[in-house]
Amino acid sequence: MTLTLLKRDLSRFFPFAGSGGAALPLLFFLSVAMLYPFAVGPKPELLAQTGGGVIWIAALLAAILPLERLVASDMELGVFDQLKLRGVTEEAVMAVRMVAHWISFGPMLIVASFPAAALLNLDGPTLEILLLGLLAGTPGLAAAGLMIAALTASLRGGAALSGLLLIPLCLPILIFGAGSLARGETASLGFVAAISLLLVAITPFAAGAAIKAAREG
Amino acid sequence: MQGASIRAANLACRRGDRLLFRRLSLELAAGDVLHVKGANGIGKSSLMRILAGLLPAYAGEVTRSGDLALMDERPGLDLDQPLGKALGFWQSVDGCTNAAHALEVLDLEPLLDVPVRYLSTGQRKRAAMASILNRGANIWLLDEPLSGLDTAAQAKFAALIQLHIGGGGICILASHQPVEIAGLKTLVLEDFAPKDAPEDAT
């Protein structure tokens, strides 16, 4: 059952798997890295100093892009109702969807960080911290995104709202993740991982409750 | 399919601050088919969702033995997927091994490559019915199964329901259209609509 669900979710969210919109976060992420040097000027020191932070912001914004497609369409189609009738709990569906959502943007962003780091003139150690940080932080971004998407799925104009709501939830990840770059140490990445873990742990329940509430509302 | 039953005792349904129906009781055993009638907005769909356990009843309770399948206007088929793939997902969820049968009976084979988005209302209804057949549940809840169907498909649906209850299944269908099935019981939802003040709820 889990595998069946995961397969369906991945076929809908994974970039290049079918519907064109799924590759958008990746392209968005790369274009920010590409445009930034044009906007602030090509000074190597400036880019090396601020580039890591820009990559973090691009990662956060890239995580917002797929939110609209994450829950609302399935709610409209009645997929959650039909799964519930078959005894599959909302929590399980949301846990699987969280994993699928992460797989379809987390690893991509981490890989895309290599060209982005080259464009922004980041050196080896900085890139290493950045990669570790993204590895620890993207599960949290995925979880928070799914939670917000489920909460706003039944609202009109929910898509616009979800972007706004996600930003404060992701601030701690951004602060500790980008902060570790500024200080050049990996200790605060522990905080990023801890926040991610917390978000990953509560999201299936929060998102599941949101779907139940929307159904009964 | 022996021993399937569904029983509702003293149900009331409230949507917003409007009481739709109250004091509704029904009891169906294997081989029963019930036609729920009523005007639009009287609460047919709400009753179906309460019986399916998707909506909490305002009062009363539902007990059942046996699997339940619900067909409403949202059968959970991905709009972007070809019909074959969209149905395939539910087949693997249900562990259905004999899907070809339902496709053949409902004449869906020529449509398997067509994205669900491009199917007509009647074709989607037939796809939803295929999903119900593949599920293999004892209790069928069919919400407006006949709307949008041509007469041939309507007759086919009636035959399928007849076959289902003949095999010991239960079927509750909500429809404002006349249905011709042998042994059909009828429930008119207007009989349970509150006539007095809403305080008369329970």
Query: pLDDT at residue A23 above 90?
Result: no
Mutation target vs B (from A4, A82, A93, A211; most B CBs, 10 A cutoff): A82
> Dihedral sign, CA of B130, B131, B134, B139?
negative
Return the residue of B nearest to A214 by Cα: B55
The pLDDT of A139-153, averaged and rounded, is 94
Percent of chain A with pLDDT over 70: 97
pLDDT band per the 50, 70, 90 thresholds, residue B17 = confident
Task: Report, as an integer, the average pLDDT of A116-143.
Answer: 92
State how far residue A4 is from chain B, nearest Cα, in angstroms. Answer: 7
Rounded Cα distance between B139 and A59, Å, is 48
Mapping DSSP onto H, E and C, the string for B150-201 reads CHHHHHHHHHHHHHHHHCCCEEEEECCCCCCCCCEEEEEHHHHCCCCCHHHC
Q: Does B80 touch chain A (CB under 8 A)?
A: yes
pLDDT attached to residue B1:
46
Whether B197 has a pLDDT exceeding 60, the answer reads no
- End-to-end CA distance of chain B: give it in Å, rounded: 34
Quick one: tokens of B133? 């057949």
Residues in chain A closer than 8 A to B141 (CB atoms) = none
Question: Band of the pLDDT at A20, cuts 50, 70, 90?
Answer: low
What pLDDT is attached to residue A22? 67
Name the residue of chain B whose CA is nearest to A9's CA: B89
Please report the pLDDT score of residue A35 as a whole number. Answer: 92
CB contact (8 A) between residue B76 and residue A79: yes
Counting residues of chain B whose pLDDT is more than 90, the rounded percentage is 56
Residues on chain B touching A1 (C-beta within 8 angstroms): 93
Chain A nearest-CA residue for B52: A85
* Residue A182 CB burial class (10 angstroms; 0-12, 13-18, ≥19): middle
Cα separation of B136 and B167, whole Å?
A: 11
Q: pLDDT tens for residues B61-105?
A: 999 998 999 998 888 998 888 999 999 999 999 888 888 888 998
Q: What integer is the mean pLDDT of A148-177?
A: 88
Tell me how far apart the alpha carbons of residues A6 and A78 are, in angstroms, rounded to a whole number. 18
Domains and CATH numbers, chain B: 29-57+65-188 (3.40.50.300)
Which of A1, A18, A78 has its CB closest to that of B76?
A78
pLDDT in the model for residue A173: 93
Tokens of B190: 């207007």
Domain residues of chain A, as ranges? 2-216
**Which residues on A lie below 8 Å from B70 (Cβ)?**
81-82, 85
What chain B residue is nearest to A216 in terms of C-alpha separation?
Answer: B55
Q: Report the pLDDT value the prediction gives residue B196, as an integer from 0 to 100.
A: 61
